Amino acid sequence: MNVLVVNSGSSSLKFQVIATGLERIKQYTDHRLCRGEVEGIGGEAIIQFKNQQGQSQKFTAPLRDISAVLDYLVRFIASDKSGVPEIKNTGDINAVGHRVVHGGELFSESALIDDKVLRGIEDCIDLAPLHNPNNIKGIQAARELFGKTIPQVAVFDTSFHHSIPEQAYLYAVPYHLYRRHHIRRYGFHGTSHRYVAFRYRTLRGLTREQTNIITLHLGNGCSATAIRGGNSVDTSMGMTPLEGLVMGTRSGDLDPAIVNVIARKEGMSPSEVDTLLNTQSGLLGISGLTNDMRELQAELKEHEDRRVRLAIEVFCYRARKYIGAFLASMSGADAVVFTGGIGENSPEIRALICEGMEWAGLMVDPARNQETVARESKISTEDSTLLAYAIPTDEELLIARDTVRVILGEPHPS
């Protein structure tokens, strides 16, 4: 099945076409046909495109909205210019898989999209006002383009975390706020945490039930998840993606009273403080320089900048603190798994996070760690009892696989 994977944001859209099959022996066969990104939707959009031979193209086109983008993309992919011979016309796309940020308490699994599911996603807009409306636009645009006959599947960032127990998802605020407004921890990056947990158990030849790990997704957004028996039992992001680890521009955990203090002292409205905590904080806020970890590390090597060093130290300390907290909450784990742009590519940050974790049986092997960039490998020493792995994430692949699995009505493979 040729699956178009769509991740639609406010002014950008990421896409891939992945040919995925689910064989009788419950093995997936995947073949990535092309991938790319469209930025600057609403004006002269920039399209970056790469086919399976690795040929890249970059061009512009006036694309007013997501409908125009999808229409343009599919016609381009089907044309001779794309170098994707498997797709000759719209009919060669057999299904569409959508990344949907918030599934609230409604969706514990990926769902075949019909009118009822679409209404459910709309009901979750209140929980993710910046994200769900764009995801819905992507779904509606694909419906217009392909008609209702081509199946579409929604894969939610939140659904992997549905197994989190009450004691971990409830905030200690008056209970009626949970009842009335669904104020609770939902967690995000679920597709990424689920994918690397799946790769980890495949690498080690374990079953889902035998998978007891802490996954650290460290990208521009960052989150940690405690996975026990293959299920998420706690995660660092909360009702929104602001809670938890230090991120590129988000603060992560802070004393909630600070919101009021900043508002009062800086003459800001609560929503302005919210924007500050989401877009001006984290690595960018502390360093005063950039949200990009690679640039921070390069800067530190050249100039020994104190605030850059502090940003990196606070980032790594917070991640280590979460490892400790989750080790306690899940009664120990077998491994810590790093993923995301930073987790996959920065041996230095991985080593700093694991520093002083010998007490827990975690020792990073310097050579293995250094060699492991953008590939999967164990990075801990042979005598570690808490292992460490780096595993590149692949959310699009999991979306394509879920799309096929849901269409075929198959349960999760274990």
Residues that bind ligand AMP (CB under 6 A): 219-220, 248, 292-294, 297, 340-342, 345-346
| Interior angle at CA 131, CA 129 and CA 132, nearest 5 | 80
Nearest-approach distance from CB 373 to ligand AMP, in angstroms: 7
Considering the complex, state which of residue 219 and residue 252 has its C-beta at the smaller distance from ligand AMP.
219
Q: Using CB positions, name the residue nearest to ligand AMP.
A: 341
Long-range contacts formed by 34-38: CB under 8 A, 24+ apart: 34/77, 34/82, 34/84, 35/396, 36/73, 37/12, 37/13, 38/12, 38/13, 38/63, 38/69, 38/73
Nearest-approach distance from CB 116 to ligand AMP, in angstroms: 33
337 Ramachandran zone, left/alpha/beta (phi>0; psi -120 to 50): beta
Question: How far is CA 52 from its chain centroid?
Answer: 23
Neighbouring residues of 4: CB distance < 8 A, sequence distance ≥ 6: 15, 16, 17, 74, 93, 95, 96, 97, 142
Nearest-approach distance from CB 219 to ligand AMP, in angstroms: 2
Considering the complex, state which of residue 97 and residue 221 has its C-beta at the smaller distance from ligand AMP.
221
Considering the complex, state which of residue 2 and residue 346 has its C-beta at the smaller distance from ligand AMP.
346
**What's the CA gap between 162 and 403, in Å, rounded?**
19
Question: Does residue 234 carry a catalytic annotation?
Answer: no
Nearest-approach distance from CB 353 to ligand AMP, in angstroms: 13
Nearest-approach distance from CB 95 to ligand AMP, in angstroms: 26
Question: How far is CA 333 from its chain centroid?
Answer: 22
| Interior angle at CA 80, CA 76 and CA 85, nearest 5 | 95
**E strand segments, 150-264:** 152-156, 213-218, 222-228, 231-235
Considering the complex, state which of residue 187 and residue 340 has its C-beta at the smaller distance from ligand AMP.
340
Considering the complex, state which of residue 97 and residue 282 has its C-beta at the smaller distance from ligand AMP.
282
Catalytic residue among 114, 123, 157, 365: 157
Which amino acid makes up residue 267?
G
**What's the CA gap between 344 and 218, in Å, rounded?**
8
Nearest-approach distance from CB 345 to ligand AMP, in angstroms: 3
Across the strands, what pairs with 231? 228
Considering the complex, state which of residue 201 and residue 217 has its C-beta at the smaller distance from ligand AMP.
217
Please tell me what DSSP assigns to residue 81.
G
Across the strands, what pairs with 62? 44
**Catalytic residue positions?**
157
